[in-house]
Structure 1
Amino acid sequence: MNTDPAPAPEGPFRSEPGDRDLAPQFVLPLVVRIERAAPPARTDALETAARAVLVMLTDERSTGDGPWAKAVRDWQDARIRKVVRRARGAEWRRAEALPGITVTGATAEVRVFPPVPVDDWPRDLARLQVSGTDLDDPEPPVDPDPSAPVLWLSPDLDMSAGKAMAQAGHGAQLAWWELTGAQRAAWHAAGFPLAVRTAAPGHWKTLTTSGLPVVRDAGFTEIAPGSCTVVADHPGLR
Structure 2
Amino acid sequence: MNVLEPLAARYAYWLGLPAEEAALPEASPEEVRAMPVILHLEKSTPPQRTPLLEAAATAALAVCLDERAQPGGEWYEPVREWVSGHIRKVSRRARGIHWQVAQEFPGVRVAVGGAEVRALVPGRVVDVPKEIARLQISGSDLPPDEPPPAQPDLPLLLLNPEVSMTVGKAAAQVGHGTMILASLLEPAELAAWGERGYACAVRTPSVSQWKQLHPGDDPAGAWRSRRVVAVRDAGFTEVEPGTVTVLAQYR
Deviation for aligned residue 1:20: 5.2
Q: Which secondary structure state, in structure 2, belongs to the residue aligned with residue 97 of structure 1?
A: coil
Q: Does 1:126 align with 2:133?
A: yes
Could you list the runs of 5+ residues in structure 2 that have no partner in the other structure? 1-8, 13-20, 216-221
Deviation for aligned residue 1:71: 0.3
For the residues of structure 2 that align with 1:57 and 1:10, how far apart are their CA atoms? 17
Deviation for aligned residue 1:11: 4.2
Tell me the residue number matched to 1:157: 163
Tell me the residue number matched to 1:5: none
What's the CA shift string for 1:40-63, capped at 9, x where partnerless?
110000000001012111111111
Deviation for aligned residue 1:10: 5.8
What's the CA shift string for 1:146-179, capped at 9, x where partnerless?
2321101100100000100111101111110110
More displaced 10-residue stretch of structure 1: 116-125 or 21-30: 21-30
Tell me the residue number matched to 1:234: 250
In the alignment, is the contact (CA less than 8 A) between 2:11 and 2:180 conserved in 1?
no
Q: Does 1:18 align with 2:28?
A: no
Tell me the residue number matched to 1:85: 92
For the residues of structure 2 that align with 1:31 and 1:152, how far apart are their CA atoms? 21
Q: Does 1:207 align with 2:213?
A: yes
Q: Does 1:109 align with 2:116?
A: yes
Q: Which secondary structure state, in structure 1, belongs to the residue aligned with residue 113 of structure 2?
A: coil
For the residues of structure 1 that align with 2:174 and 2:25, how far apart are their CA atoms? 21
1:217 to 220, 223, 233: 233
For the residues of structure 2 that align with 1:189 and 1:11, how far apart are their CA atoms? 25
Q: Does 1:47 align with 2:54?
A: yes
Q: Does 1:58 align with 2:65?
A: yes
- TM-score, with structure 2 as normaliser: 0.83
In the alignment, is the contact (CA less than 8 A) between 2:38 and 2:94 conserved in 1?
yes
Q: Which secondary structure state, in structure 1, belongs to the residue aligned with residue 126 of structure 2?
A: coil
Amino-acid identity (%): 41
Tell me the residue number matched to 1:140: 146
In the alignment, is the contact (CA less than 8 A) between 2:63 and 2:69 conserved in 1?
yes
Could you list the runs of 5+ residues in structure 1 that have no partner in the other structure? 1-8
Deviation for aligned residue 1:34: 0.7
Deviation for aligned residue 1:22: 5.6
Residue identity matched to 1:186:
A
> Pairwise CA RMSD of aligned residues?
2.0
